[in-house]
Amino acid sequence: HQRRVHGEKSYVRKYEPRLSLMNWLRSRDNETKRLLCGGIAGSFAKTVTAPLARLTILFQVHSLKTAGGDATVQFAPSVSAGLKHILHKEGVLAFWRGNATSVLHRFPYTAINFAVYEESKIFLGTVDLPCFRPSNSSDSGTPLSRLLSGGFASFVAVCSCYPLDLMRTRLSAQQAGESDLYHGLKDAFVRILREEGPRGLYHGLHATVWVQVPTFALSYFFFDTFKELFRSWDLLLAPETPLAGDGRPGKARELTPPGALLCGALCGIVSSTIMYPVDVIRRRLQIAGRIVRTSGGGVKRSASEEFFHILSREGVQGLYRGLAPELLKAVPMVGLTFTSFEFCKRQLGVV
């Protein structure tokens, strides 16, 4: 309390301790902070790259939506033509169609992914086997622990959030002028349950697991590998400063934002290119149930059947249709995700 006198009157001003939001967040346990950092990082990166993400989906599934499934009909001849097509027919906001659902999916998805990955690395580091013991004080673990932790984290995240991913894909694949459009997330959820049953919410899950688990395993592996290389080369590293909020120095120097962005971009290029054909199959399976229903016929195919169907109808290039916008999206998205995650970890003092 502090007493002040103004003329003949005195009054008491009460000062109450105020805990800022950042200080409150820094006081949380590491597991909670990792979940928050992962969710923020994924949501931010997804929103920034939403236009290219939607364009990629339209390239991937367009031949399914044409009359007779004509494989020769492309959504657009190039990335720039595709962007112009969306802009002229649907307007600027159409680039972010389905993005609210994307963020709703991406926040828990990346939160679970990063949190499980970090905890899995810590757990594997306690296993008394040479393949899980890092040779130095690095927080990146061994190559095998990165791969296993990344794969397991992705599997848990995919299974936990898959219905949102399916609805996001269907909302993003819609175009102005189509009949029988979904009117938002709630409408999509209700109609899928009514028209396809509960199993419809998980259509294509097996293909998604096949693409996401190795993709994220490779992403985590390459990101931490590039991080270790940059540390060994003393390249794009931040000064040795205490971690924010706890006053203790870190075990190893962290990357600067440009360094994290570069590492993320490199691992995004490698992992996305390797796994892209499986991603094409995944997207097509996700919308196949709706295409079959609205077209009044057709056949639902398994992942292997869809693979051979694409090869026979569209050739090898059909498996890489939309790769250009995917890489244009993946490079900044993966880079921004890892950069944002590392930034949030430093700000919240994650150890």
Whole-number Å distance between alpha carbons of 244 and 233: 25
Whole-number Å distance between alpha carbons of 109 and 209: 13
**What integer pLDDT is reported at residue 207 of this predicted model?**
78
**What integer pLDDT is reported at residue 5 of this predicted model?**
52
**What integer pLDDT is reported at residue 273 of this predicted model?**
86
**What integer pLDDT is reported at residue 127 of this predicted model?**
84
**What integer pLDDT is reported at residue 39 of this predicted model?**
94
Residue 27, SS3 per DSSP: coil
Q: For residue 320, give the DSSP letter.
A: T
**What integer pLDDT is reported at residue 117 of this predicted model?**
92
302-330 exposure pattern, b = at least 16 Cβ within 10 A, e = fewer: ebeebbebbeeebeeebbbbbbbbbbbbb
**What integer pLDDT is reported at residue 247 of this predicted model?**
47
The two tokens of residue 26 are 């820094």
Whole-number Å distance between alpha carbons of 150 and 218: 7
**What integer pLDDT is reported at residue 72 of this predicted model?**
54
- Each residue's pLDDT tens digit in the chain (351 positions)? 445 555 555 555 554 444 577 888 888 888 899 999 999 999 999 899 888 888 887 877 766 655 455 555 667 777 788 888 888 888 888 888 878 878 888 999 999 999 999 899 889 888 888 888 776 656 677 888 989 999 999 999 999 999 988 888 888 777 766 666 788 888 889 999 998 889 989 988 887 888 788 888 988 888 888 888 888 888 888 776 444 444 444 456 778 888 888 988 888 888 888 888 888 888 888 776 665 555 555 567 778 888 888 899 888 888 888 888 788 878 888 889 989 998 898 888 886
Q: Say how many CA atoms lie within 13 Å of 213 toward its Cβ.
A: 12
- Measuring CA to CA, which residue among 267, 271, 258, 256 is closest to residue 226? 267
**What integer pLDDT is reported at residue 19 of this predicted model?**
54
185-217 exposure pattern, b = at least 16 Cβ within 10 A, e = fewer: beebbebbeeeeeeebbebbbebbbbbbbbbbb
**What integer pLDDT is reported at residue 60 of this predicted model?**
73
**What integer pLDDT is reported at residue 294 of this predicted model?**
53
